Structures are given as C-alpha cells and as structure tokens.
Structure 1
Amino acid sequence: MRVVIAGGHGKIAQLLERELAGRGDTAVGLIRNPGHAAALRAAGAEPVVCDLEHTDVDTVAGHLAGADAVVFAAGAGPGSGAARKDTVDRGAAVLLADAAQRAGVRRYLLVSSMGVDAPPAQGRDEVWAAYLRAKKAAEVDVTSRDLDVTVLRPGRLTDDEPAGRVTLAPRVPPGPVTRADVARVLLALLHTPHSAGLTLELVGGQTPIADAVAAAGR
C-alpha cells in the first residue's frame, strides 16, 4: 500500500510512517520545510516538499499519483494563531480532498480531535476554539465528498509509550491517548476498508487495537 501523509513531519505522522515501513508499505510524507526530509527518511518515508498553504490542487494531485490512500495529519501547531488554524487545519484538509478526487485516490483518513462538536464559548481561549471550529469544518467538507473517508478524533495526546489497548467508538468519554497508539490505530484503519464512512473517537482503554478497529468497522 502506498500512503501519502499530509503533515509528514508531525509526531503522529512520523510514528505512522515507521509503522507503515515496518509492514512493507510505502509512506510518502508531504512537508513544508526541506530541512525535515532527513527525519522522514529515518522514519522510512519518502519526503516530498509541498507547502499545502501555498500550492494548488494540480500540484498536490501530482504528488498523489499512484497512492492507495491519503492521511491528513497536518496541523498549524502550537503558537499559531486563529488564522492559521483555518488555513491549515481546515483549508489544507480540503485541498487534500480536492487533490485526492482529482488523482482518483478514494481512501482518506482525517485526523481530527475530540471536542469539535462543542467548542469553547465565545471569548474563552479563542485560538483553541478556532482550532476546533477548523477541525469540524474540515470534517463536514471532507465527509461530504465521494470519497471513502474515516474520521479519527483522538483525545488528549501524550508522548507516553504505546499501550496497544484503546477505546474506539463513535462516542467515548474524554481521556488521554498516546500518539503511538493513534498511529497504530491509523495503520489498522488503513487496512480495514469497511471502516470507511465512520467517525470514531479514540482514547486509551482495555481493548487491543486490532480488536477495537475490527469491532468499530463492523
């Protein structure tokens, strides 16, 4: 399987790239900074420099040629303002969907966030609220397409060692989840075609990842 990952230098993306490479799949990471290419190669991925905030659909579609799936794991990141939450967390996700349709790539995994259905009230942590609004807008747009979309909404992300056990369902109580477990869930979803059409929330739990993904996809 050839998988193109937007936000290829992100923590979850690099973990997913290693997981894909370990399975013998091909990971291609779209990155904004050419200086990040070495890190992707170390993770077993092919780096492609492509700034999703400053490119066009034909260029992105060209990078998707021959792909079996795309994963949107990009984000504006800490310290960015509300405007970039929209241009990256929404706008880049939409651009990737446009490009996937143009390139004939049907499978699309969108990494979103728990909490998008109830963002903070006006005036309370406006940047965080903008982030959640952007993620929700991306979900609405991408899931309206003629694509095989799975939306994954992780809880609070940690850098702890992977547990290999999670809670995965359309609605789960808030909680933490390791980035490594998110990457492993994404890998399992990529290899579970009947998970297309689902929006799933994810936190740490007691169910082995393979069983959790199989159950969610039934």
Structure 2
Amino acid sequence: MRVVIAGGHGQIALRLEALLAGRGDEAVGLIRNPDHTADLQKRGATSVVLDLENSTVDQLADVLTDADAVVFAAGAGPGSGAARKDTVDRDAAILLADAAESAGVRRYVMVSAYGADNYDPDSTEVFQIYLRAKAQADADLRGRELDWTVVRPGSLTDDPGTGQVTIDESVPRGRITRDDVAALLLHILDNPCTASMQFEVVGGSTPIADALATFAREH
C-alpha cells in the first residue's frame, strides 16, 4: 500500500510512517522543510518537499499518482496565528482532497480536532478559529465522493500507547497518546468499512480494532 501523508514531519505522521514502513508498505511524507528528510528516512519513509500553502492541485496530484490513500495530518502548529489556521488546517486539507480527486485516489483519512463543530463563530480567539478551520475542512470532505474517514482525537500526549481507546460520534473530553492515534490510523487504512465515518476518540479500555468494528457495526 502506498500512503501519502500531508504534514509528514508531524508527530503523529512520523509514528504512522514507521508503522507503515515496518510492515513493508510505502509511506510518503509531504514536508515543507527539506532538513526534515532525514527524520522521515529514519522511519523508513520517503519524503517529498512540497509547501501545501503555495502549491497547485496539479503539483500535488502528481505526487499522489499510484497512491492507495492519503492522510491529512498537517497543522499550522500551536505557535501560528489565525491566518495560518485557515491556510493550513482548512485550505491545505481541501487542496489535498482536490488533488486526490484529480489523481483518482479515493481513500482520504483526515486527522481533525476534538469538538471541532463546537467553535464560537463570533470569536477572534486563535483556538476558536482553529476549530472553525477544522470543521470547515471536515465539512468539505464529507461533501465529496471520496472514501473519507474523519478522526477527531482528544488532547494528545507523548505517553506510550496502550492500544485501547474509546470511539463514538461524541465522547467525553479526554486524552489520547499519539502512539494510539497512529495505530488507529493504520487500522482505518486497513479497513474499508470505516469509510464515510466521523468520530471522536480518546483513550479507553477497548482494543482499537474492537472499538472500530463496534462503531462501524452500529453506524
């Protein structure tokens, strides 16, 4: 399986790349800074230097040729201003969807944000603008004829993964390890039945595969 990951140097992306490469899949990370290439190579992934804020659909579609899936794991980062929440968290995600359609890649997995739809539309606070950007990107993706899955993780930690989660359309606020989010994304890529699903996820007591299967069965 060839998986192209936007935001390829992000902490979740690096973990997912290692999981993919470790079992023989091809992980391709899109990065803006060429100095990050070595970090991807250490995980067994290849890199493509491409600035999503300054790229065209055609440029990105060329990278997606022969891909089996794309994952949007990019983000402007906690130190960025409001403008980049729109240009990265929203517009870059939409650009990836446009390019996926152009390249004929149907599978799109979105790493979104917990509670994204609950933003304050009148707020000028950066975090609220971030949530709005995520919600708008998710809504755009849900309106497309792609095999999409939208994942909305709770507060992220660098603790070791447990392999156990809680998944539902809405879950109580909580924390989840980046290890477990990456493992969850791998399960999603392996399971076509997760297409057209959107859910929140935090740490829990149910193995990832079982939690996904139960949610898919009930929804």
Partner of 1:12: 12
Partner of 2:176: 177
SS of residue paired to 1:189: helix
Identity level (%): 61
Q: Are 1:163 and 2:162 an aligned pair?
A: yes
Superposed CA deviations along residues 138-167 of structure 1, whole A, max 9, x for unmatched, are 001111111000000000011111011000
Q: Quick one: distance in 1 between partners of 2:24 and 2:40?
A: 16
- Which deviates more, 125-134 or 5-14? 125-134
What code does the residue aligned with 2:60 have? V
Q: Quick one: distance in 2 between partners of 1:120 and 1:98?
A: 28
Whether the 8 Å CA contact 2:17–2:44 is kept in 1: the answer is: yes
Partner of 2:107: 107
SS of residue paired to 1:217: helix
Partner of 1:131: 130
Shift of 1:169: 1.5
Partner of 1:57: 57
Shift of 1:215: 1.7
What code does the residue aligned with 1:138 have? A
Q: Quick one: distance in 2 between partners of 1:49 and 1:39?
A: 13
Q: Quick one: distance in 1 between partners of 2:172 and 2:120?
A: 17
What code does the residue aligned with 1:22 have? G
Whether the 8 Å CA contact 1:169–1:202 is kept in 2: the answer is: yes
Q: Quick one: distance in 2 between partners of 1:66 and 1:217?
A: 28
Q: Are 1:95 and 2:109 an aligned pair?
A: no
SS of residue paired to 2:148: strand
Change (3 A) 1:156 1:103: same
Q: Are 1:73 and 2:73 an aligned pair?
A: yes
Partner of 2:151: 152
Q: Quick one: distance in 1 between partners of 2:190 and 2:214?
A: 14
Partner of 1:36: 36
Q: Quick one: distance in 1 between partners of 2:30 and 2:118?
A: 30
Superposed CA deviations along residues 59-78 of structure 1, whole A, max 9, x for unmatched, are 00000000000000000002
Superposed CA deviations along residues 145-192 of structure 1, whole A, max 9, x for unmatched, are 110000000000111110110001211111000011000000000001
Whether the 8 Å CA contact 2:113–2:151 is kept in 1: the answer is: yes
CA RMSD for the aligned pairs? 1.0
Partner of 2:22: 22
SS of residue paired to 1:53: helix
Runs of 4+ in 1 over 3 A off after TM superposition: 120-123
Shift of 1:115: 1.3
Show structure 2 runs of 5+ residues with no match: none
Partner of 1:216: 215
Q: Quick one: distance in 1 between partners of 2:122 and 2:158?
A: 30
Q: Quick one: distance in 2 between partners of 1:202 and 1:21?
A: 25
Q: Quick one: distance in 2 between partners of 1:52 and 1:16?
A: 20
Alignment TM-score, normalising by the size of structure 1: 0.97
Q: Quick one: distance in 1 between partners of 2:142 and 2:49?
A: 26
State how many pairs are aligned: 217
Show structure 1 runs of 5+ residues with no match: none
SS of residue paired to 2:67: coil
